[in-house]
Each structure stands twice: as C-alpha cells, then as structure tokens.
Amino acid sequence: MKKKLVLAFSGGLDTSFCVKYLKEKGFDVYTATANTGGFSGEELARIEEKAYRLGATEHVTLDVTDEYYNKCIRYMVYGNVLRNNTYPISVSSERVFQAIAIIEYAKKIGAAYVAHGSTGAGNDQVRFDLTFQVLAPEIKIITPIRDLSLSRDEEINYLREHGVEDDFIKMQYSINQGLWGTSIGGKETLTSSKSLPESAFPKQMTAEGEQIITLQFNKGELTGINDQIFESGPAAIQALEKLAAPYAIGRDIHVGDTIIGIKGRVGFEAAAPLIIIKAHHLLEKHTLTKWQLYWKEQISTWYGMFFHEALYLDPVMRNLETFLESTQENVNGKVFLRLLPYRFELQGIESENDLMDSGFGHYGEETKGWSGEEVKGFTAILGNALKIYYSVNKK
C-alpha cells in the first residue's frame, strides 16, 4: 500500500523534483500550495496543472492570505519591521503560515508523512520542520533536497531524464512570492560581489515619469489609497503593489545571519511593503510620543528577529503583539508621497493626531507654553548630574 504524503508545493524547481522523486520512492503524493497572497488565479491554475502533470494524486490550494495579514503583516507594519534595516521579512514570515496550513491539511487527510523542498543550507528548513514538529509530532518529515544535497543543475538533469520539460533557464532562480514581497535567489546571491540581473526580477519597470499618491491610515493600518477605501488589508496592499511595482521600487539585496549560523544573501522586490512601512513610520513620528517611539523600536526589533528565527509559536509573540497594537490608537491620517523610477519620496502627513500641531509652539521659531526664564531654570537642573560628575572627577 502506498504511503500517503503531503508535499508543500510551489511549482518551482525544488518541489517539482520532489514530486517525481517521492513518487519513484513509492509515496502517494498529495500536493498543497499555501497561498499567502502572492499568486494570481491564473498562476494558481498553472501550479495545479503542473502538479498533476508531474504525477500528484491530488492537489489543493490553501488560501491563508487573510490569516497571514491579520496575524502577521499588520503587526509588522505596527512595528515598522525591517530585518537589518533592509528586508521586510517577506519569506521569513509567510513560511510559518504556509507550514501551519500544510500540516493542518496533512492531519485532515490522514497523511503519515509531510514533505518540503528546502535545502540544508537555508532558514526555511527550520521554519517548516519546527512548525511541523510542534503541531503534529506524529507525522514524519521527508526532505529530499536536503537529504540528497542536490544542486539546482542536478535537479534539472533529473527532471529531464524523467521526461519533464520546463523553462529551466527561468528555474535557475528560486523565486518566492507572497503578499509581503518576493525573494529572488540565484548564482549571483551566492557571491558577495555580484548583483542580480534585471531579468531576474519578476516585475519589470514599465512606468515613466512620476506619480503623486496619498495613503490613508486608520489605527496604524493602510485603509485607503488616493480616494479609494479598501475593505481589507490584503486588498489595499495588492492595490499599492499594482501602482508602485511598475516603477521597480523596493528592489534590494539583503545580507544577514541565518538561523543555522552562516551569512546569507538574497535579493528581493517589495514595493508595497517598503512604501507602507516608511509611510507608517513617518506618520508615527508625528502622532506618538518620544517614549512610545523608543520602546516600539526595541520591541519591534525583537519581534522581527523572533519571526525570522522561526519562533512565531512562542507565546511571547502574542505579548509583543499586544504591545504593538496598543500603540496604534492615534496613528491616523494621510501620508503624501511621490513615486519615481526605482525610488519613492515621502512628502508629508496630515492628521488630527499630529503632535506638531499642538499649539505649544513651533520648533526653532516660537514658544507658547513656556518662557525663556523657565528654560534657563530647566537647563540648570538638567545639568546637575553632569556638573557633579565633572566637578568630582576634575575633567
């Protein structure tokens, strides 16, 4: 009797290899694509067709876009989370929700095995394994790419030998698409010096000139673009991506420390995520107090790191989310910005909660809530500790 196995299937090179290889090893392969908002209906249809062409017994699409947004992305926005001040933690965050959906599906159909196409040199293997082990320790994990230590060329050759024809040149790049950005890995990102070619990016620059847009935030969430109000966060993000991606905004290469201890390098494009985070941060500078901003920055760094390190299921993450959400009550208003080829510019904000418009004065110009004599006394007291130190230590 064949062994029932669920494979996390993206349709890329690694998971395409896994279908053929696992069938050859006697497994009854059920493929599942957990969509985190990065695939169109046409793309999902192509992935399904490919799964059956490769020999899958059954294929399902598991849509976790709303769950991914509500339980992850909005907190990443609240925290202005950028890994190493660069990367919006696109793949790192979505992998956990994909893993949760895959393992729940495996339990639902009574599969004894679950598989993924991660290599032994990356972060995703830990994210998938840890989530599977915590939520279904009774299901055995199979990882062909990792166990066989295969190169991409070896995978391509295997598929060709088994009668699989595909766009293997395109498949030389590992591309992961989600609502919160797209990562691109290839031979260039294995080096420390080479950049990705223009053709490696899924979204090419087609826009010309510039465009002025307005983003509307309500309690820290993007709810509107220009005059259009959206019913959901994912819809707003997708609409902004449609506007900004043609300018090739949000491209970069992230260099960071992996979970397994080595340095890693990956390209990405994330037009909407980077615009939203920067616009949201600007609005917070106007609407939050100094100490709210300070402690948010500390907690957000930890929150992003724990997500990256596959620790989403740790209950401390719920505690951090409670804090982040509590800071957003007054983060309301409009942010004005300009889109240009390869970049964007923040121009300003408009908000009823703007602390600059307080009536207490204007920085560098005038005061209304204190006098010059009061500032003299304040400064004298403020300097007491320093005066004592330098007096005692004769410096």
Average pLDDT, the chain: 93
171 pLDDT tier (thresholds 50, 70, 90): low
At which of 127, 144, 177 does a domain end? 177
Q: pLDDT tens across 177-225, in order?
A: 899 999 999 899 999 999 999 999 999 999 999 999 999 999 999 999 9
Do 336 and 377 share a domain, yes or no? no
152 pLDDT tier (thresholds 50, 70, 90): confident
Share of the chain above pLDDT 70, in %: 97
Do 146 and 286 share a domain, yes or no? no
Q: Let me know if residue 382 belongs to a domain.
A: yes
CATH number at residue 337: 3.90.1260.10
Question: Residue 30: its pLDDT value, please?
Answer: 98
Do 373 and 324 share a domain, yes or no? no
Q: pLDDT tens across 40-77, in order?
A: 899 999 999 999 999 999 999 999 999 999 999 999 99
What is the rounded distance in angstroms from the CA atom of residue 246 to the CA atom of residue 271? 9
For residues 140-148, give the mean pLDDT: 96
* Crossing angle (nearest 10°) for helices 41-54 and 13-24: 30
**Number of structural domains found in the chain:** 3
Do 139 and 30 share a domain, yes or no? yes
Do 163 and 240 share a domain, yes or no? no
Q: Let me know if residue 194 belongs to a domain.
A: no
Do 274 and 322 share a domain, yes or no? yes
Place of tokens 């088994």: 162
For the CA atoms of 197, 200, 206, 211, the dihedral, rounded to the nearest 10 degrees, stands at -90
Share of the chain above pLDDT 90, in %: 85
* Crossing angle (nearest 10°) for helices 290-308 and 271-287: 150
Q: Let me know if residue 185 belongs to a domain.
A: no
Do 29 and 168 share a domain, yes or no? yes
pLDDT at 227 over 70: yes
Question: Residue 307: its pLDDT value, please?
Answer: 93
Q: What is the DSSP string of 60-107?
A: EEEE-HHHHIIIIIHHHHHTT--BTTTB--HHHHHHHHHHHHHHHHHH
Question: Residue 125: its pLDDT value, please?
Answer: 95
Do 21 and 111 share a domain, yes or no? yes
Q: Let me know if residue 281 belongs to a domain.
A: yes
Establish how many alpha carbons lie within 13 A of residue 225's alpha carbon, considering only the half-sphere containing its beta carbon.
22
Q: Specify the pTM.
A: 0.92
Q: pLDDT tens across 273-311, in order?
A: 999 999 999 999 999 999 999 999 999 999 999 999 999
Q: pLDDT tens across 75-99, in order?
A: 999 999 999 999 999 888 999 999 9
Check: CB of residue 81 under 8 Å from CB of residue 52: no
For residues 314-318, give the mean pLDDT: 97
CATH number at residue 144: 3.40.50.620
Q: pLDDT tens across 354-365, in order?
A: 999 867 766 666
Q: pLDDT tens across 99-126, in order?
A: 999 999 999 999 999 999 998 888 999 9
Q: Let me know if residue 205 belongs to a domain.
A: yes
Q: Let me know if residue 355 belongs to a domain.
A: no
At which of 124, 142, 177 does a domain end? 177
Q: Let me know if residue 189 belongs to a domain.
A: no
At which of 123, 147, 177 does a domain end? 177
Question: Residue 112: its pLDDT value, please?
Answer: 97
Parent domain of 158: 3-177
Question: Residue 103: its pLDDT value, please?
Answer: 98
Question: Residue 2: its pLDDT value, please?
Answer: 74
Do 10 and 90 share a domain, yes or no? yes
Question: Residue 272: its pLDDT value, please?
Answer: 98
pLDDT at 1 over 60: no
Do 283 and 152 share a domain, yes or no? no
Q: Let me know if residue 266 belongs to a domain.
A: yes
pLDDT at 136 over 60: yes
Do 204 and 166 share a domain, yes or no? no
Q: Which DSSP state fits 190? A: G
Do 168 and 207 share a domain, yes or no? no
pLDDT at 135 over 90: yes
Check: CB of residue 312 under 8 Å from CB of residue 73: no
